[in-house]
Structure 1
C-alpha cells in the first residue's frame, strides 16, 4: 500500500462533499427548513450509468453538473481500493489522519447530527473487508447509522473557501506570468536553442555507491546513495561540486535516482539520504502495526541533522577515498515537500512556534492540508530550534511545506541563494498559501520563484499515483515527464551558478529561458522579484 493511494481515498471523499453522497440507507441534508433525503441506491445506480427515473431529486441535482464533471464523479464512485482492514485501521488511527477525519466529521455527521469521524472510520474499516476491493459507495453503506447527515452550511462554507483559493491561484498565476514577461523583456536577448539543452543528460557518466550513517547518541542509522560523476577520477582538490537531495514524507531515496543521475551527468556528486521516521518504511511499519504514527514530530529536528551528518560522513570519505576532490565547503541542498522544509531549515530558518500557534487553531477543515503536517511541530519542546549548517551554500525547494513552521521571520534568516518551485494544481501544499507567499519573505539577494502551471504536488510520483487518484490520473501521467524535465534543467543551471561558480550558466536563470522551454499545456514561469505588497494587491 502507498500513502498516495490512501490520500486518493481522502481526496475523492472530499470531492464528493460537493455532491449529495450516500449513507447506510440515505443521505440527509437541510436547506432552510426543508429536509432532503437521497437513497444510497440512487447514487449507486448513477455510478453504474443507470436511469435515475425513480430518483428525481438526485437526477435534478446532477443536472446542475457538466457532462464532463458527471463522468468524473462516476469514475470516483466506481474506483475500487484493495487494502486489508488491519492496514486501513492502522493508517486511520495515526494522529495526523485522525485529525483530518475529525474535521471531515464536522461536515459528514451521524443521523443524530454528531461528529461523524468515528463512524466514518468504522465504515472504511468494515468496507475494506469486502472481497475484490471496496468503493466509496461501499464505505457509506457501512456507515453505522441509518442515515448520514451532510451539514450543508459547513460544506458550502468549505467549498466557498476552496473557490476563493481557486480564484486567488488563477489571479496569482496571471500576475506571475505578466511579471515574467516584463522581466524577460528587460533581459539580454539570448538564443537559447543555440545553447546546450539542460533538460537532456550531460556529458558525464556516473557511478553509485551506498554507505550508512550512524548517529549513536540518537540511536539513528540511515543509508545514503552517493552518485559520483566520471570527472571525479581526474578532478583536483575541492574540484567536484556536491549536492544533497532530501525526499518528502512517505517517500524514499530511490525515487530521486533519475534526478540524481541527471545532476551527476553535469559533474555534480549527489548524495541522497533516507530519512527514517518519515519515509516509505515508516508507512509500512504503520500499516503492519510496528509504528503508531505516519510521521514522528521529532523528524522536524532529525531531518536537518541528517543533512549535517551526511556532510560529516562525506568529509571522512573525501579524505579516505576521494583524495579531497569533493568540494564540501559550499554544498547545495535540494528538497521536495517535507524535504523542502528540511533544506530551508538546514540553510538557517528556525522553527517558528509563534507562527504555528497563530495558524494551527484548526476549527474547520483548512484549505491548506499541509497544516496537518506542519502543526505537528507544536508537539516538540521549544528548545534547539535552529539547524543551520555553514557548509550549505544554496537551496532548491520543490513544493516545500514551510509557511507556518518557518514563517516570515524564519525564512528571512536565510542568506544563501534560494530557488522555490511551485505547482498551480498542488492540492496538498497550495502554491498561493505555501510557496508563493513564503517566497516574498525571503531576503537573500539571489532568489528565484518557479511556477509550473497545471502541475501537481507529486514530483517523485510513479505510475501508482494515477491509479490511486482517478480524478487526476491523466494530468499526472501527462505532466510528469514534461515538468520533471523543467526541474532537471533549472536545477543544473541553479547549482552550476551558485555551487559550481560557473557563471556561463547564469543566462539559464532568466525568465526568457523558462519561456523558451515552456510547453503550452504546462506553462513555465520564472521570476526574480515578488514582494508581499505586490502579492497582497493581487489577492485583494
Structure 2
C-alpha cells in the first residue's frame, strides 16, 4: 500500500478513536443544557441544542462557530464530527454498566475525568458513568448527542489537556507510519541481498496438508488448583513409526479453543498434534457471566497464573496418555507454545518470560498508556499476590504469538528470559494491542532468543472487523472510510509462516526455512494492496533506533 494511503487510513482510524475517547465522553451538560470549554482564562459556552442542529443539517450556530474558529477543523473533520454525533454505538445498557464498574472500566473513566471538571472543580467520573449508561438505555441507543442530553449538571472541558491528548494521538499516528516504513525498509534490504529464489515453485503451506486427522475433546480436572477445563485435540493420523511433534495453543481473552479451529486443522493436516485448552477465568463463558451479572470483572485476576499452568497441566496429561493412547509417538521434549492476544502472554510466560511489576507500574503511570487498550489488561497484574510462582515449562522449545499482550507486563528483563526461538505477528490496524506499544517495542527485548521473527501485516486488526458485527463493519467502512483487506489476507500471510515455523523448530525440517525468509513474504505481497513485512533478530538494532526516535518525540510533546 502506498505510504500516503497508509498514513491517511491510520489518521482516520485514530482520529475517530480519540474523538470518541476524548471529545465524546468529555462533554457535560448543565440544567440549561450548556457545555463550557476553558483554556486558561478563555471560556466559551455552547448549547447542546446547537450541536443537535449541527448534527441534523450541518448548520453552525454562532456559539459553535466560535469553537470551530479556534480549533479550525477542515470540512472532512467537521463532516466526521457531524456523523459521529448521531451514529449509534451498539451496546446493551446493562452490559455497559457492568463493564464500567470493572477495574478496566474504572481506569478508563479516571483517564476521561482528567479532561473534565464539574462546576466547582470536582471530578466528573461518577457522572460520566451514570450518563453513559442512561444514554445506552435510550430508545435510539448510545450516541454522543444522547449522552450529552443525559448529563445532569454543568461541566467544564479542559481544552488545554484535550488538545494535548489530540497532539499525542496525532504523533502516534505518525510514529505508526514511521515504524511500518522502517520495518518495510529493513525487510526489503534483506530481501534484496539474498539470491533469487523462484518462490512460485514452492508448495502453498496455507493449504490443507496431506495428513488426515481426527478431532477430540478431553475434560480435565486439576485437583491441586481445583480447576476444571476442556481441551480441544487435533490428532494427526501418522504411521506407528513416525514421531509426532506437539503444539499447545492458548486462546485470547473472551474466546474459546473452537475459535481457532482453522489453525488446529491446518497444523494437524501437516502432521502436528495440536492441543487447545480452555481457560475458564478468561473465556467466552466468563464473558457471558459478566454480561449476566455473575461476575464484576472482565477476567479473573488469577488468570495471569492459571493460564500458563493450564498449558503445563495439558502437557502433563499428554505425558500420561503418550504410551497408552499414542504408542509413545509424541515428542514432549520439544513442544511449541502458540497463542493469540492474552494467549500470547500465556505462551511467552510458559516459555520463560517473567513478570516485571516495577516496569509494569511505570507503564501504567505513563500518559502514553491511555492510547493502549492492552495496558488495561496488564495493569490488573499489579494486584497479584507476591511471590509469583514459576510459570516456565522446560518442555517448551519454540514460541509463536500473534497480537500478543506482552510489553508492559514483561518488560526488557522479563522477555530476556525467553531462550527459545520466537515468532511474533502484528497488524497495523490493531487498536487492542497496538504494535507500536506491544510488538515493535518488545521485539528487540528478545535478546536471548536464538532466532526471532517479526511479521507486520498492513490492515490487519486484532480480530476481523466482520466478527465484531455489522455495526463495527459499518463504522469502519462508512464512518471511518477505511478500505479493509479481504477476509483471507491474514491467513494468506500468516498460515505459511505458522506451518513453516512449526516444521523448522519442532519437526527439524530445515527445508521449510525458506518460508521464514523476508524475501518470501515480499514475494507474497507483490500482488496485494495490503503488504506484509518480515524481519529477524538481525534487524532488531535498527528497529530499536527508530523506536527510540519516536519515543523521544512523544516525550517532548
Q: 1:186 aligns with which of 183, 193, 205?
A: 193
Distance in 2 (alpha carbons) for counterparts of 1:312 and 1:156: 54
Question: Aligned residue for 2:295?
Answer: 291
Question: Aligned residue for 1:430?
Answer: 434
Change (3 A) 1:54 1:360: closer
Whether the 8 Å CA contact 1:394–1:498 is kept in 2: the answer is: yes
- Counterparts of 1:415-494 in structure 2, within 5 Å, are 415-442=419-446, 443-458=448-463, 462-465=466-469, 467-468=471-472, 470-472=474-476, 475=482, 478-494=485-501
Question: Aligned residue for 1:171?
Answer: 178
Question: Aligned residue for 2:271?
Answer: 267
1:95-147 per-position Cα deviation (integer Å, ceiling 9, x unaligned) = 111111111111133343422221111012212322353322212211222x3
Question: Aligned residue for 2:552?
Answer: none
Distance in 2 (alpha carbons) for counterparts of 1:242 and 1:11: 43
SS of equivalent to 1:182: helix
Question: Aligned residue for 1:197?
Answer: 204
TM-score, with normalisation over the residues of structure 1?
Answer: 0.90
Question: Any unmatched runs of 5+ in structure 1?
Answer: 1-7
User: Does residue 513 in structure 1 map to residue 514 in structure 2?
Assistant: no
Distance in 2 (alpha carbons) for counterparts of 1:235 and 1:42: 76
Question: Any unmatched runs of 5+ in structure 2?
Answer: 1-12, 550-557
Report deviation, 1:300.
Answer: 0.7
Distance in 1 (alpha carbons) for counterparts of 2:328 and 2:506: 17
Report deviation, 1:489.
Answer: 1.6
1:456-477 per-position Cα deviation (integer Å, ceiling 9, x unaligned) = 2226x65325523754357585
Report deviation, 1:265.
Answer: 2.2
1:50-106 per-position Cα deviation (integer Å, ceiling 9, x unaligned) = 433566517845994455444444443333245443322222111111111111111
The number of aligned residues is 527
Change (3 A) 1:72 1:242: farther
Report deviation, 1:530.
Answer: 2.9
Question: Aligned residue for 1:126?
Answer: 134
User: Does residue 242 in structure 1 map to residue 246 in structure 2?
Assistant: yes
Report deviation, 1:294.
Answer: 0.8
Change (3 A) 1:176 1:12: closer
Greater mean alpha carbon deviation, residues 315-324 or residues 216-225: 315-324
Distance in 2 (alpha carbons) for counterparts of 1:457 and 1:109: 34
Change (3 A) 1:365 1:58: farther
Question: Aligned residue for 1:143?
Answer: 151
Distance in 2 (alpha carbons) for counterparts of 1:349 and 1:324: 30
User: Does residue 153 in structure 1 map to residue 153 in structure 2?
Assistant: no
Q: 2:395 aligns with which of 367, 387, 391?
A: 391
Report deviation, 1:39.
Answer: 2.1
Report deviation, 1:419.
Answer: 0.6
Distance in 2 (alpha carbons) for counterparts of 1:364 and 1:435: 15
- Counterparts of 1:399-410 in structure 2, within 5 Å, are 399-410=403-414
User: Does residue 530 in structure 1 map to residue 534 in structure 2?
Assistant: no
Report deviation, 1:365.
Answer: 5.9
Distance in 2 (alpha carbons) for counterparts of 1:150 and 1:361: 22
Whether the 8 Å CA contact 1:100–1:365 is kept in 2: the answer is: no
Report deviation, 1:517.
Answer: 0.8
User: Does residue 303 in structure 1 map to residue 312 in structure 2?
Assistant: no
Greater mean alpha carbon deviation, residues 476-485 or residues 181-190: 476-485
Change (3 A) 1:491 1:48: farther
Question: Aligned residue for 2:9?
Answer: none
SS of equivalent to 1:227: strand
Distance in 2 (alpha carbons) for counterparts of 1:421 and 1:178: 18
Whether the 8 Å CA contact 1:455–1:479 is kept in 2: the answer is: no
Question: Aligned residue for 2:339?
Answer: 335
**RMSD of equivalent CA atoms:** 2.7
- Counterparts of 1:25-40 in structure 2, within 5 Å, are 25-40=33-48
Distance in 2 (alpha carbons) for counterparts of 1:533 and 1:527: 11
Distance in 2 (alpha carbons) for counterparts of 1:463 and 1:537: 34
Change (3 A) 1:252 1:119: same
SS of equivalent to 1:293: coil
SS of equivalent to 1:351: coil
Whether the 8 Å CA contact 1:21–1:27 is kept in 2: the answer is: no
Question: Aligned residue for 1:4?
Answer: none
Question: Aligned residue for 1:216?
Answer: 223
SS of equivalent to 2:326: coil
Change (3 A) 1:160 1:191: same
Distance in 2 (alpha carbons) for counterparts of 1:364 and 1:163: 12
Whether the 8 Å CA contact 2:55–2:82 is kept in 1: the answer is: yes
Whether the 8 Å CA contact 1:161–1:367 is kept in 2: the answer is: no
Whether the 8 Å CA contact 1:175–1:538 is kept in 2: the answer is: no
SS of equivalent to 2:406: coil
Greater mean alpha carbon deviation, residues 340-349 or residues 363-372: 363-372
Distance in 1 (alpha carbons) for counterparts of 2:324 and 2:172: 53
Distance in 2 (alpha carbons) for counterparts of 1:375 and 1:330: 32
